Amino acid sequence: MTGTATPYGAWPSPLTARIATAGTTAGQVASPSYPGLVGDEVWWIEPRPAEDGRSALVRRRADGSVADVLPVPWNVRSRVIEYGGRPWAATTGARGASAVFVNFADQRLYAYEPDVPGALPRPLTPLSPVGGGLRWSEPEIDPGRGEVRCVLEEFTGEGPGDVRRVQAAVPLDGSAAEDRAAVRELWDDGHRFVSGARWSADGRQAVWLAWDHPHMPWDAAELRIADIGPDGTARNARTLLGGPGEPVAQAEWGPDGHVLAAWEHTAWWNLYSVDPGTGAARPLRPAEEDFAGCQRLGLRWFAPLGDGRLAVLHGVGGQRLAFLDPGDGGLTDVPGPWTEWLPHLDADGTRVVGVAGGTRTPYEVVEVDTATTTGRATGPSPRLPVPDEVFPEPVARVFTGPDGHRVHAHVHAPRGPLAHGPGNERPPYVVWAHGGPGLRAPLTLNAEIAYFTSRGIGVVDVNYGGTPGYGRAYRERLREQWGVVDVEDCAAVARALVEEGTADAGRLAIRGHSAGGFTAALSLAVTDLYACAALYYPVLDLRSLAAGLTHDFESHYLDALVGPVRSVPERYEERSPAFRTAEMTVPFVLLQGTDDVICPPEQSAAFLRDLQGRSVPYSHLVFEGEGHGFRRQSTMVAALEAELSLYGGVFGFTPQGIEGPPQPDPIGTR
């Protein structure tokens, strides 16, 4: 023990909300994304909460210096399918680097030569009067044709479903900047959703992924292939493999002319070599672990190397980087402090770059030498200005859920350098329900978790049934059971912590973002375990989402998670927190952005209107300009401090270290 005996929750901590949110987005571990190799440099996207939440494009030069490619206010981020995708590409030439990128504010594609003195970004694509702009993702520069190949998302009306997605080519000379007709549509696959295409070495074929409503890509994505004509357009498009029940998560061309695919042909996403003519597939390393995961757009779990090997991510739960020999299936793990790698790989020659973190290492961009299998951070490792004793020592555990199911979770016990709990008390615990279902809580350093544990509040991060990474059977436990399995799994973990003496039965809370907010809100209605809850931009009304009050990508997601609304309409009310308000009696804080198109603020407003007159204590914080996932540091500081204030009022302690303006009383009815 260190420090003095102090009530749990009231411990002083040097980790303020401002420090904890310095390089993160709300509810997520701080994470760079979309790294790439540009000549002898490494480029990546870096979150900047203190710069109005922008996503900065950053480069590390060959001399080791790190600098922004673009100054404030350029914000490099795509809105395709609202979750975006890889928003930049770059090449090198006689004039230095040449980049193309998507600017978040107007969703236009821009070209920029950062090494040319006086150069400014110039638009390549026009504005659109509908849909928040023409949207672009997965750009690939084609110097030979003077074009950028992209996925184009184009809205044809004001509704979220009035949209089409095609493979397109944008001229680099800027001739399409004011002329939509100058954008060449390479092909329209006829599918609702498509990923960025990969061209074969000779340019004669291309492969991509495609899927349609009501499916999500991790349920039904097909591997498509087409012949490419001299003008770059496609013909004879056909499916090689995949589809409902056997989704493909990623496809690349191998050096032998075969297609490499991450395919869930068995109970796991394994890697296959696929004959592009026949579709015959050979497994490269059959294993009961995943070599891929839930694809959206732009995620890469493997990358071909120049020597014939593959850089791959693999594992059960967390994934680590390794080199795979496709000849004999041999696998060589890359050593280092990184316990979790994100699906953001790129490779060129003898270099691999990715994003990785560990229990003591925040997510950072890491470059690996393929000859020595040694990795190094691309710049100084990000460190928070607090002692190591502030951070918890997380433990990965498996609990027993309903019907004997295994439930995976990470337990973060209270730990701080300045205080310890009274010997006659058990600490309060907050159950975190991650924002899946297609996501997973990683076992990495998370400053938001440490913000609470360093004050004497334990956190248990639950990878409830439905979480990817543990095989198809575990992921499909949530099929038509959303609002049941997730709620029961979180409750089972909470009860187990109480029964073993780890947590105080009277001081349990639950917290969630997005889908996790749904789990948390519904838990208040169907269990009596929790004394309060923190709900970040939650899903609250399944019926309204099924009726179109959300974006196109997830507009039919509930068919799999709940069941077709026409077949089981009663479930949409039974499992909606908005229809269970009469059973809610404990305090909560609800945090919502005004620009959220995935969980619109209208949902939260209707939910709270139904609570009026029921004497349910709550606080409602609305943040102008924030969308689905808070990005501005001022927002995240206010949210964390409001959450801590809630716990203090409910659990009976006086929070320490709140620096922002006074928050609304979380125990007062609003």
489-506 tens-digit pLDDT: 999 999 999 999 999 999
Please check whether residues 11 and 111 belong to one and the same domain: no
**Domain co-membership, 450 together with 579:** yes
Pair 525, 640 in one domain: yes
In this structure, is residue 665 part of a structural domain?
A: no
Residue range 553-595, pLDDT digits in tens: 999 999 999 999 999 999 999 999 999 999 999 999 999 999 9
Do 457 and 567 share a structural domain? yes
List Cα–Cα distances, 176 to 91, 101, 132, 152, 647, in angstroms. Answer: 21, 15, 18, 13, 54
Residue 66 inside a domain? The answer is: no
State yes or no: pLDDT of 364 exceeds 90.
yes
CA distance 433 to 431: 6
Quick one: pLDDT at residue 324?
Answer: 97
Span 306-329, pLDDT tens digits: 999 999 999 999 999 999 999 999
Residue 605 is predicted with a pLDDT of: 93
Q: Are residues 11 and 107 in the same domain?
A: no
Classify residue 60: in a domain, yes or no: no
Distance CA 669, CA 617 (A): 4
Find the distance separating the first CA and the last CA of the chain, reported in whole Å: 41
SS3 92: strand
Confidence of residue 664 (pLDDT cuts 50, 70, 90): very low
pLDDT in tens, 434-454: 998 889 999 999 999 999 999
pLDDT in tens, 514-562: 999 999 999 999 999 999 999 999 999 999 988 888 889 999 999 999 9
CA-wise closest residue to 447 among 482, 403, 412:
412
Inter-residue contact 365 to 44 (CB < 8 Å): yes
Range of the domain at 592: 4-18+386-651
Of 188, 217, 242, which one is at a domain's C-terminal end? 188
Query: What does residue 460 show for φ and ψ, rounded to 5 degrees?
Result: -120, 120
HEC sequence for 23-75: CCECCECCCCEEEEEECCEEEEEEEEHHHCCEEEEEEECCCCCEEECCCCCCC
Residue where a domain terminates, one of 188, 215, 239: 188
**Cβ neighbours, 10 Å, residue 192:** 18
Q: Average of pLDDT values for 600-613?
A: 91
Domain check: are 590 and 451 in the same one? yes
The angle formed by the CA atoms of residues 408, 411 and 412, to the nearest 5 degrees, is 150
Q: Under a CB-based contact definition with an 8 Å cutoff, are residues 356 and 341 in contact?
A: yes
Q: In what order do the strands lie in the sheet with 54-60?
A: 33-38, 41-48, 54-60, 66-68
Domain shared by 526 and 395, yes or no: yes
Residues 471 and 568 in one domain: yes
Residues 162 and 14 in one domain: no
644 found inside a domain:
yes
Rounded Cα–Cα distance for residues 432 and 232 (Å): 48
Report if residue 47 sits inside a domain. no
Domain count, the chain: 2
Q: Position of tokens 């890889």?
A: 86
| CA-angle at 503, arms to 501 and 506, nearest 5° | 115
Q: Vertex 273, ends 267 and 277: CA angle to 5°?
A: 120
The one-letter amino acid at 46: E
Q: Are 104 and 76 in contact (CB under 8 A)?
A: yes
83 and 13 in a common domain? no
From the CB of residue 528, how many other CB atoms can be counted at a distance below 10 Å? 11
Is the pLDDT reported for residue 244 higher than 80? yes
Whether residues 14 and 107 share a domain: the answer is no
Phi, psi values for residue 326, rounded to 5°: -70, -10
The answer for 227, left when phi > 0, alpha when psi is -120 to 50, beta otherwise, is beta
Residues 490 and 400 in one domain: yes
For β-strands 205-211 and 198-199, DSSP reports them as: antiparallel
CATH number at residue 489: 3.40.50.1820
In a domain, 346, yes or no: no
Distances (CA, A) of 376 to 51, 368, 399: 27, 6, 35
* Beta carbons of 274 and 223 less than 8 angstroms apart: yes
Q: Confirm whether 217 is domain-assigned.
A: no
Residue 230 lies in a domain: no
169, 188, 207 - which closes a domain: 188
Q: Which residues contact 485 (CB under 8 A, 6 or more apart)?
A: 464, 465, 466, 477, 478
